[in-house]
Amino acid sequence: MEVVDIHASCDHEFIAKVEEESEQKVRLCYQCGNCTAGCPYTFVYDIPVSQVMRLVQAGQKERLLSCKSIWLCATCESCTTRCPNEIDVARIMDVLRHMARREGYVAEKNVKMFWDTFLDSVEKHGRVFEMGLLATYVAKTGRFWTDMELGPKILPKGKLSFKPHEIQGKDKVAEIFKRFREMQQ
């Protein structure tokens, strides 16, 4: 078991930042474990969600931002819905992802790559171009064999378009991204 000396390594600024960005009082978590009990992703997490909450309380920034769990949370809202103290736990997981991105931590590179490629597609076309998204993702990750067996199942159905659905306002959508980036600086 990992031992954490919370006096030696507690980052108070980090706790305050998580609370501010998530608008949640992390201190209200009394470790009942309900979130972990209902979380369908614990089997792939390196830190179960209730322990993520405890580590936020203990200000363990480095440990949290470098963990896999924050990239594998699907925001299924089970934890948030079942928290007896009405803490929006899924929103805290989201905020930890935001912080990890800003500070350059990526414990699940392919997950981040998929999300980034998705957003690039939206920025470029205004809507997601599914076929383009898959092709770009495969090219960037080099995972040519992944899901190969699904091709013959889906392609004959005529559901995947080979052309993007460009919209008139695609520049307006690109502007949202541009202004967002400017605001971040």
Partner 1 sequence: MSTYAYYPGCSGLGTSQEYESSTRAVCRALGVKLIDIPDWSCCGSTPAHTVDHLLSSALAARNLALAEDLDAAAVITPCPSCLTNLKVAVHRMSDREFRMQVNKLLDKPVDRSTPVKSVLQVLAEDVGPEAVAEMLPHKPLAGLKLAPYYGCIMNRPPEVMQFDDHENPMAMDNLMAALGAEVLPFPLKVECCGASYGVARKDIVAKLSGKLLQAAEDLGAHAVVTACPLCQMNLDLRQGQASSAMGHKFQLPVFYYTQLIGLALGVPQSELGLSKLCVNPRLALDAMHAAQAEKRELEARKEADKKTPKAKAA
Cβ contacts of 96 within 8 Å, gap of 6 or more: 18, 52, 56, 64, 65, 70
Would you say 17 and 91 are in contact if contact means Cβ atoms under 8 Å apart? no
Q: x/- binding map, residues 110-139, to partner 1, per CB under 8 A?
A: xx-xxxx-xx--x---xxx-xx--x--x--
Nearest approach in angstroms of CB 46 to partner 1 is 14
Among 11-19, 24-32, 36-44, 54-62, which window interacts with partner 1 (CB under 8 A)?
A: 36-44
How distant, in Å, are the alpha carbons of 5, 35, 68, 120 from that of 73?
A: 26, 12, 9, 21
Does residue number 106 form part of the binding site for partner 1 (CB under 8 A)? no
Q: Per the structure block, which two tokens stand in for 43?
A: 């089997």
Does residue number 17 form part of the binding site for partner 1 (CB under 8 A)? no
Instruction: Output the CA torsion sign for 178, 180, 183, 185.
Output: negative
Does residue number 145 form part of the binding site for partner 1 (CB under 8 A)? no
How many residues interact with partner 1 (rule CB under 8 A)?
59
How distant, in Å, are the alpha carbons of 91, 122, 126, 176, 184 from that of 180?
A: 20, 14, 15, 6, 6
Does residue number 76 form part of the binding site for partner 1 (CB under 8 A)? yes
Cβ count near 78 (within 10 Å): 19
Does residue number 159 form part of the binding site for partner 1 (CB under 8 A)? yes
Would you say 124 and 178 are in contact if contact means Cβ atoms under 8 Å apart? no
Does residue number 37 form part of the binding site for partner 1 (CB under 8 A)? no
Nearest approach in angstroms of CB 57 to partner 1 is 22
Does residue number 61 form part of the binding site for partner 1 (CB under 8 A)? no
Cβ count near 23 (within 10 Å): 10
Applying CB under 8 A, the residues found at the interface with partner 1 are: 40-41, 43-44, 72, 74-78, 80-81, 88, 90, 94, 97-98, 101, 108, 110-111, 113-116, 118-119, 122, 126-128, 130-131, 134, 137, 146-147, 149-150, 153-154, 157-161, 165, 167-170, 172-173, 175-177, 179-180, 183
